[in-house]
Structure 1
C-alpha cells in the first residue's frame, strides 16, 4: 500500500485467524501502525490505531554493534483523525530490574463517582429503587431522577407533548454503567430525538445504524423546547473545560419572572433559586403524542 500524502510504501502483515495486523514501512522496515477495527454502541464501526514514530537506535549486550530501533513516540488515533493519546519517551532501558512487588496492584476502590462502574449494581442501585425529587416544588414537571441515592442524577422534564431526559447512562436499561452516553442507542431505538451541540453530530451519526433524528445548536443558533408550563434550553460554547461537546442544561418555567434566580455549584444569582442548571452531554426527547 502507498500513503497518499508522502508516497511512502507500506506492507501489511496480518495474523491468520485474528483481527490483528501490523503496517510496516516498506523503506525502513520498522513498524508504523498497529490498526484495530472496533464496534462501538454509539460510534458504530471505527478504527483505533496505535502509531509508532521517532525511532532511535538502542544498543544492548554491552556491544555497540548489537542494536535495534525502538520508537520514542506512541500515538493512539481514533478514526484516523482524533488523537486520543500522544506519549513521548525520554529514554528506553532494556531488561530493567524491578523491586519485588513493584507491579502488585494497590487497593484502590473505583466507584460510580468517576462515572465508570465495571460490575453489576448492588441492590440499592437497581431500577426497583428509583427516587424522584422536584428541585422546583411549584413546577412538578421538572424532576431529578436517581437510582439508590442522589449522586448520579438525570434531569427529566415532562412537556405536554413529550418527555426530555438529560444523560443516557446504560444502567437504566442494562444495569452496567459505562459512561453518560452508553444508553443513547436504547433511547434512539425507542424513538427519541437526540439534542446535541452541532459539533458533536459526527460522534453520534452511526447510532442505531444511522437511523437517528438530531436537533442541534451552537453559540449563535440556540435550541429551545417550550410549552405553556416549562422550557428547556442547552447552553454551549467553545473551549469547555470538561469536553468540547459538553453543554449545560437550563430548565425554567415557561415565563420566568425577574425574581427567579439561577442555581449552580459555581454560580448563584437572584433572590430565589428557581432555575435548575446542571451539566449534561446531551438531552433526548421522547414524543408522547397519541400515547395516552
Structure 2
C-alpha cells in the first residue's frame, strides 16, 4: 500500500492544493528527483542509449494470468484464466506518442471450462493501442470476451473505459517510454519513498504530475523495480497494481548497450500474481510495417477514452483480464427498469419475490419482512438502481440485509452501494477479511457458519442462508432459502436461491455441471431443504417465473442425486 505521507504529497502536488507548496520546496524536491532519475537511467545504460530506443518488441512463449476475485479462495488469487499462453507485445515511441500492439494466444483454465463445458477455450486476438489526443484501443483480430458466440470475430474499437484502462496499462508496461517522459519532465518530478513489507524493501519513488503511475526504484542497484498503478478497488479499497520488472539482461542494438527486464509480473496489493510472462526474444527498434499499429475497419465507432469513478480501472482491469468485460452498464437503465414478480404465482407468500434490472442476466431474490427488506447478491451497477427502486416502491421500507451468494465480482461488486444505504452485510465467517475495507469499513456485518446458519423470521415469512466448508464454486459460496413463517408441506411455496452452481433451464451441460451440483444437493438434503422447493438461479433461462426457476426435484433428477421425499426429512426445521 502507499503510505499516508506519500498520499498527502501526491494530493498536494496533483490536487487542488498544489499551489500551497512553497516554490523552493518544489524545486528542491524536483532537483533530488532529477538526480535519482539520472542514476536510474545510468543503471540501465545511460541517456544516449535510452534516447536511441524508438521501438521495442517482446516475444513470450510463456504468458499466464490469474483472476483476482473470480477465484475459489476469498483472500488470494488461485484460479488461472490464461493457461498455455503466448504473446508478442510491440511498442513504438516515435514522435513522443506511445503505440502498442498485443498479439496474444491462450487457453482458458480448467476452472472456466469445468463450469462451461461447451465453452470455446481457445483465445487468439490482436489489438492496437494508442495514447494521446486521438487515443484508442482496437481489436483487429478476435476478442477475449467470455460470452462471445464467436471469439474469432474482431471486436473493433473498445468502449471508452476499456480504452482508458488499456492505454494506462500500455504506459505501465512501456518502461523506456516512461523513463523518457520522466526525463523530459524532470523539473516537475515528485520524489518520495515507500516501504513494502511484502517486498521486504524500501523503495525510492518517482512520479510525474498528470500520470497516475509511480516508478519504484531499487535503492541498491537503482534499477526500476516496478511501475505502480494506485487503484481504488470496490472491495479491497485503496490498492496497488504493480508491474514488476526483473531478470535484467544486457541487450546490444545500433552500437548501444542497455539493460532490459526479461520477466514481468503484475502483482495486486504486493501479494497476488495476476499476470506473468517471460521474454524469450527482445528486439530493439524493429522494422514495423506501415500499418502495423493501425486500427482495422470497424463497425464500432471510435470513442475517446475516459475514466470514471463508476468504472474504476480496477473494475475494468479485473473484468477484461478474466474475459468478463462487456462494456459499461447501459445508461438508459434506472429504477423504472426493475422487473419484479412473486416467486409463487398461486398467491403463496407474496413477500418472496425475484427481480432483475434491465435484462434477466442477473436475478436476485427479494424478501419483504415486516421491518425491512432482505436481498440476495449485489451485482455491480445494478445495486444502486435496486436501492433507489426500493425507496420508491416498498412503502418506506429499506434494505436491511444484503446476502451475497459468494465473493465473485459479478455477484458482490455492488455490495458497497447497498451497505451505503444502511444495510447489514450477511456473510459466512470465512469471508469477513475480504470485505473489511468496503466503504472504509463503515458498515454492520453479521457472520454465520456451518453450525449456526443465518436465520431471520417474522410472523409471515422466514429467510435462512447456509454455508458449508466444502462449498462448491467458491470458498464462501452459500445458498439461501425463503418460505412462509411456518412451512409444513408442499402446498405452500419454498424458495431456494443459488448462483452459478445451478442455472435452471439450461440443461446439465451448458450453464452448470453435475460435479458442482451434486455437492450442493447433498448439502441441501442435510439442511432439510424440501424436495418440493422451487430453485432460483442468479443466471439461466427458463419459461418459469422471471426466467431462472425450476423445481429442485427436476434438478436432482438431472444430476442423478436421489433426493428424499419431503415426508421423511427436514419439515420440523421450518415451523417453530
TM-score normalised over the length of structure 2: 0.40
For each residue in 1:53-87, what CA deviation from the matched residue of structure 2 results, as whole angstroms up to 9, or x when unmatched? 3x141524277x83423141312222x34x15131
For each residue in 1:94-153, what CA deviation from the matched residue of structure 2 results, as whole angstroms up to 9, or x when unmatched? 245666467647779x9xx9575415344xx43223322222232211101123443321
1:261 Cα offset (Å): 8.9
1:158 Cα offset (Å): 1.0
Say whether residues 1:142 and 2:328 are aligned partners.
no
Aligned to 1:171: 382
1:75 to 246, 250, 266: 266
1:204 to 435, 442, 453: 435
In 2, Cα distance between equivalents of 1:182 and 1:103: 35
Say whether residues 1:20 and 2:216 are aligned partners.
no
1:155 Cα offset (Å): 0.9
Change (3 A) 1:37 1:229: same
In 2, Cα distance between equivalents of 1:208 and 1:235: 26
In 1, Cα distance between equivalents of 2:531 and 2:427: 29
1:7 Cα offset (Å): 6.3
Secondary structure of residue in 2 paired with 1:224: strand
When structure 1 is superposed on structure 2, of 233-242 and 67-76 the one drifting more is 233-242
Say whether residues 1:61 and 2:253 are aligned partners.
yes
Unaligned runs of 5+ in 2: 1-192, 301-318, 387-408, 505-511, 540-576
User: Which structure carries more strand by proportion?
Assistant: 1
In 1, Cα distance between equivalents of 2:199 and 2:419: 42
1:70-109 equivalences under 5 Å are: 70-78=261-269, 80-81=270-271, 83=272, 85-94=274-283, 95-96=285-286, 100=291, 104=295
Contact 2:383 2:418 in 1 (8 A): no
Larger Rg, first or second structure (1 or 2)? 2
Say whether residues 1:48 and 2:257 are aligned partners.
no
Aligned to 2:390: none
Aligned to 1:274: 533
Aligned to 1:232: 463
1:161 to 358, 371, 375: 371
Aligned length, in residue pairs:
269
In 2, Cα distance between equivalents of 1:221 and 1:30: 53
In 2, Cα distance between equivalents of 1:70 and 1:194: 44
In 2, Cα distance between equivalents of 1:23 and 1:132: 51
Secondary structure of residue in 1 paired with 2:282: coil
* CA RMSD, Structure 1 to Structure 2 (Å): 4.0
Contact 1:261 1:272 in 2 (8 A): no
Change (3 A) 1:128 1:261: closer
When structure 1 is superposed on structure 2, of 66-75 and 231-240 the one drifting more is 231-240
User: Which structure carries more helix by proportion?
Assistant: 2
Say whether residues 1:133 and 2:341 are aligned partners.
yes
1:193 Cα offset (Å): 0.9
Secondary structure of residue in 2 paired with 1:128: helix
When structure 1 is superposed on structure 2, of 142-151 and 201-210 the one drifting more is 201-210
